[in-house]
Amino acid sequence: MVLNQIVLGLATGSFYSLIALGIVMIYKTTGVMNFAFGNMAMFMAYVAFTFTAMGLGPAVALIIVLPLAALFGYAVERFTLRPIRHLSHASMLIVTLGILMILEGLVTQIWGTRYKNFPELIKGKPFVFSGKAGIVVFRRQDVLVFLILICISVLIYLLIKHTKLGIAIKAVSENEKAAQLMGISPGKVFSWMWMFGTALGALVAVLSAPKTYISPVMMVFYQIEGFTAAVLGGFESFAGAIVGGLALGVIENLVGTYISNELKSTFSLILIIVVLLIRPQGLLGSRKIRRV
């Protein structure tokens, strides 16, 4: 029983990890907390739904939507945030809140408020394994999400460690002005991170749509959980985002099963407060030392 709950928690945590990765990608380089992250992903889920309504399969719709989401992220960073970057991070934060409200109103005008069905990418009977520890059930869609998380984690590691873009990302994250003096273009790094992050959000929205249905509020819960996972693991650590998401999924599932299912809705907010009080930099984050 416990093993099965852990497996289910890892499946849910994979979604949290992907959301946290997208949020951390943007925050780590630009310092901007993108509160429109969930609604940008939700908007792209509606675009994917439109493609399926036209007769395309869900996998084809996802393949088309991911580059569109990347372009969407680029447009938001390049034309709404970069022009006011010289003002303050607070002004950019307000812009993301404005984008959040604009997108919510836009989807209701275009697609209405009724929930939309979206088919699973992989259908079929779940994988069932039985042993001394009990019966463990793997849904095919959950296995797909977990494999996607592993692949993306490996790709991020290779990107950061073995490419010029990875070096530029680390340089801009450490010191934007010093990186610029070294010949690195911070603007290009910002654009790439917004593109990657927005595409990750769209990926989660489409993969979770069969369970949550497509609606204007479909990503609110996932965005809260993504923020919690990022705080838990460390807001400037890619590895922390992954570990934080998986840990949060397992902990929440165990809390919902053995303590109270209603407590799951408030558990994330409690966890954020506790982590910030005890270890503000997160489990895998590093404390910044500044010279005075």
pLDDT by residue for the chain (292 residues), tens only, comes to 677 778 888 888 999 999 999 999 999 888 888 999 999 999 999 999 999 999 999 999 999 999 999 999 999 999 999 988 888 778 899 999 999 999 999 999 999 989 999 998 888 787 777 766 567 777 788 888 999 999 999 999 999 988 999 999 999 988 888 888 888 899 999 999 999 999 999 999 999 999 889 999 999 989 999 998 998 888 888 999 999 999 899 888 888 877 777 777 677 778 778 887 888 777 776 665 444 3
Judge whether 84 lies within some domain.
Answer: yes
Asked if 34 and 27 count as a contact pair (C-beta separation under 8 A), the reply is yes
Q: Which of 144, 118, 196, 104 is nearest to 15 (CA)?
A: 144
Residue 211 lies in a domain: yes
User: From residue 50, how far is each of 91, 153, 206 by CA, in Å?
Assistant: 33, 30, 12
- For residue 275, is it within any domain? no
CA distance linking residue 242 with residue 142, whole number of Å: 16
Residue 260 lies in a domain: no
Q: Total structural domains in the chain? A: 1
Tell me the residue range of the domain where 157 lies. 22-216
Domain annotation covers residue 265: no
Whole-model pTM? 0.91
Contact between 200 and 22 (Cβ < 8 Å): yes
Q: In this structure, is residue 126 part of a structural domain?
A: yes
